[in-house]
Each structure stands twice: as C-alpha cells, then as structure tokens.
Chain A
Amino acid sequence: MMERDDGQMRSLLKQAMPPMADDEPRRDLWPAVRVHMTARQSLPHWFDWVLACSVLGFALAFPAAIPILLYCM
C-alpha cells in the first residue's frame, strides 16, 4: 500500500515537474566569473576591518594616545 502510494506520488511529481532538458547557459559566464573574482578580491579581508575598527575605537576611548599611535605608524 505504502509503496503504491509512493509510486503515485512519484508519478504525480514527475507530471508536475518533468525532467529538465539538457541545456547550456545562454551566454558565456566566464566574464561574470572574472568580474566576481576581481570585485571580491579587491575587498579588504575581514581581519583588516577588525583591526581598523579596533584602532579607531582605541583612539576614541583614549584620545591622548593618538600621538603615540601616529608615532608608531
């Protein structure tokens, strides 16, 4: 009974969503991959953001330390 039900559901599903035809992209996707790579590679690493925020936070919390920070740079 269960197997028959399962078969009916499979059949119904295949009727509702027939298998896709073998297809290929409508355009060359390589330029998009290149754009993707260039755009994302130019973004700073998350660690750089954390470091920048930490330095900024430190400078705001201890303004007197700014000359020392500048001297260290």
Chain B
Amino acid sequence: MQDEANDVLKAFRVGDAAAFETLFRLHQRAVYGWVLRMVRNRAVAEDLTVETFWRIYQGHARFNPERGFEGWARSIATRAALDWMRRQHAETELAVDVAAPGGSDPGVAEEIRRKTAQAFGRLPPKLRVAAVLAVVEEVPHKDVGAALGISVAAVKVRVFRALRLLRRDLEEQGIRP
C-alpha cells in the first residue's frame, strides 16, 4: 500500500497525468477545506482549489516525494489564497457564505460582530491568513508556519499584529472590545 503511494508520488514528479489525477482525487477535499478556512467563501474556495492544483501540476518537477504531498499542497494553496486576497479591494468585506456551526454569543451584539468581520477583512492578507488559521480555526502554529513558510515565532508575531490592528480599527469606530 505504502509502495503504491510512493509510486504515485514518483510518477507525479515526472509529470504523469494519471498520477496527478490520483493525487487530485485523494487530496481535493483537504485542499478545498484548507482554502475555505482562509477565504471563507465556497465559490472562491472552489476556484482557488482548481488554481492550486494547476500550480501543483506546473510545479511537479519541484516536488520532493520524501517530504509528502499534503504539506506541499497546503503551502501552494496558501499562496494561491494570499494572491487572491491581494487582488481584492482593500475595503472589500470578507464575504462569508457558509453558516457557522453552533450558536453565537447573544451577549455580543450582531452589529459588533459585523463590524469586527469587516475590520478583519481590511487587515493585510498576510496577517489575515495567520490570524484566521491560528485564532479562528485553531490550527497549530507549527502547521500555520509550515503553510506560510515562516517560523512559529513569526506566526505569533503576525497574529499579535493582526489583533492589535483589529483592535485599533474597532476603537476608531467607537467599539471597545
């Protein structure tokens, strides 16, 4: 079984289209889920999953089978999501179209939640991705760092800066978190 998986990875590395399709089928859901956590919009996540796999296919010669496929795919997906965020207008509100599980705290007014989400959408993409993965999705810092190609300490710095900028933005709107 393991040999078979290794053979697929090696075949993909030399540009085998069938091996690529096999990897796509195996990892499509994981890549989509990862992208969705960052962009929080199903249609965008689908487009970026396609873009990610296209980049993966283009980069097959750079793939190192010994380092595994999933982490490599995640880092490419993260770059694709960051590129998409950079293309968006700075003032664009984060378009969330997926209902969140569980109820929200009635103690926090809807208006404050909406403004917080809007302010979050105005953060620089690098900070936004680090914060949404580490704080909202509770992805371990190690995994966030691997996806972004930075150290755990750098992830913590980005999260700290994101929260500080978010606080400042909300305070300018008269909201004291």
Asked if chains A and B come from one complex, the reply is yes
Q: A13-B131, A25-B29, A29-B32 are in contact. Are A19 and B54 (CB under 8 A)?
A: no
Q: Which of B42, B50, B112, B113 contacts A33 (CB 8 A)?
A: B50
**Contact digits for B30-59, partner A, Cβ 8 Å, 1 yes 0 no:** 001100110010100110011101100100
Structural contact, A23 and B160, CB atoms closer than 8 A: no
Structural contact, B98 and A23, CB atoms closer than 8 A: yes
Report which residue of A6, A25, A36 has the largest number of chain B beta carbons within 10 angstroms of its beta carbon.
A25
Compute the total of residue contacts between A and B using a CB distance below 8 Å: 111
**Chain B residues with CB below 8 A from A14, complex form:** 135-136
**Chain B residues with CB below 8 A from A33, complex form:** 24, 50, 53-54, 57
Q: How far is the CB of B110 from chain A (nearest CB, A)?
A: 10
- Complex CA distance for A40 and B55, rounded to whole angstroms: 11
**Contact digits for A20-54, partner B, Cβ 8 Å, 1 yes 0 no:** 11111111011011001100100000000000000
Taking the complex as formed, is B167 at the interface, i.e. its CB lies under 8 A from any CB of chain A? yes
Q: Which of B42, B54, B120 contacts A36 (CB 8 A)?
A: B54
Structural contact, B46 and A13, CB atoms closer than 8 A: no
Structural contact, A18 and B101, CB atoms closer than 8 A: yes
Q: Name B's interface SS.
A: helix
Structural contact, B29 and A19, CB atoms closer than 8 A: no
Taking the complex as formed, is B4 at the interface, i.e. its CB lies under 8 A from any CB of chain A? no
Structural contact, B32 and A25, CB atoms closer than 8 A: yes
Closest to B108 in A: A15
Q: Name A's interface SS.
A: helix
Structural contact, B94 and A20, CB atoms closer than 8 A: no
Structural contact, B177 and A24, CB atoms closer than 8 A: no
Q: Which of A9, A17, A36, A40 contacts B177 (CB 8 A)?
A: A9
- Complex CA distance for A15 and B177, rounded to whole angstroms: 12
Closest to A39 in B: B54
**Contact digits for B134-147, partner A, Cβ 8 Å, 1 yes 0 no:** 01111000000000
Question: Would you give 17 A-B contacts (Cβ < 8 Å), ordered by A?
Answer: A5-B167, A13-B136, A15-B104, A18-B102, A19-B101, A20-B36, A20-B98, A22-B33, A23-B32, A23-B36, A24-B29, A25-B45, A26-B46, A29-B28, A30-B24, A36-B50, A36-B54
Using CB atoms and an 8 Å cutoff, list the residues of chain A in contact with chain B.
Answer: 5-6, 8-10, 12-27, 29-30, 32-33, 36-37, 40
